[in-house]
Structure 1
Amino acid sequence: MSYSFKILKKEEIEQIVPLVEKLDNYTVSQDILKQRFLEMSEQNYECAVIINGTKIIGVCGLWYCTRHYSGKSVEPDHVYIDEAYRGKGLGKQFFNWIYDYVTSKNCEAIELNTYVSNHLSHKFYFNEGFKILGFHFLKKL
């Protein structure tokens, strides 16, 4: 199969909602999700996707910032590949494309969060050379 990778245009952002809804531990309604993605698309955010033919089968949000300890960085967020396409090396291909893309934007580092219970993602990120740096905390207001 032939897959392609691209950055979605802002006006296409709602196309990822069905995939993002499949993430584990997800409790946000579809309406709120659409609203938030529209808002995110106006910030330091881009959305990379994997396409098979005309169908989006994978998604990865990219948040950009500059950090005092790592320089210009990107944070992959809500990474998801449709279950039917897993185990074929597509995640590695996607991340290689992302590495090349963000390097072309002068990023010096990549940081990400993953759920503690998502052991398959931990294995993937360790194999990609990521190291655990700290804990991610959240307080809802």
Structure 2
Amino acid sequence: MNYSFRIIPNDDLHHVIPLVYELNEGKVSKDLLQSRFNEMKDQNYECAGIFDTDELIGVTGLWYCTRHYVGKAVELDHVYIKLEYRSKGLGKQFINWINEYVKKKGCNSMELNTYVQNFPSHKFYYNEGYEIWGYHFFKNI
């Protein structure tokens, strides 16, 4: 297999919609996802992908900000790898690639949210050195 990791140009963000749609189990329409990604690309956002040759098989968003408690940080968002590519070490390679990429951009830390019922992701992130620092609260308004 010929896997590579790279930043997806903003003009190509429409390619991530099918994967993010799968991640959200169809709870957010593809049209709404497209609209939101059109807004996100003009914010402090980048999108990184895993490619099998030229096929996009994994994705994560990278949100940049400065946090009072750690300085310049990146938050990983909508981390997803197609089911048939899991358990091949790609997640570990992807996280390592992202770590090196964001360090070059001056980031001091990486953080993320994961759904409470997604136990395999919890184990993965623990194994990658992440710690739980708090709870993520949410309220629709």
**1:4-43 correspondence to structure 2 within 5 Å:** 4-24=4-24, 26-43=26-43
**1:62-73 correspondence to structure 2 within 5 Å:** 62-73=62-73
3-state SS of 1:4 partner: strand
CA RMSD of superposed structures (Å):
0.9
Instruction: In structure 1, give the amino acid aligned to 2:79.
Output: V
Report what 2:82 is aligned to. Answer: 82
CA deviation after TM superposition for structure 1 residue 53, in Å:
1.2
Normalising by structure 2, report the TM-score: 0.98
CA deviation after TM superposition for structure 1 residue 26, in Å:
5.0
2:66 is equivalent to residue 59 of structure 1: no
3-state SS of 2:134 partner: coil
Consecutive unaligned residues in structure 1, runs of 5 or more? none
CA deviation after TM superposition for structure 1 residue 25, in Å:
5.5
CA distance in 2, matches of 1:14, 1:83: 20
Identity %: 57
CA distance in 2, matches of 1:64, 1:27: 26
**1:110-125 correspondence to structure 2 within 5 Å:** 110-125=110-125
Runs of 4+ aligned structure 1 residues displaced above 3 Å come to none
Residues matched between the structures, number: 141
Report what 2:45 is aligned to. Answer: 45
Normalising by structure 1, report the TM-score: 0.98
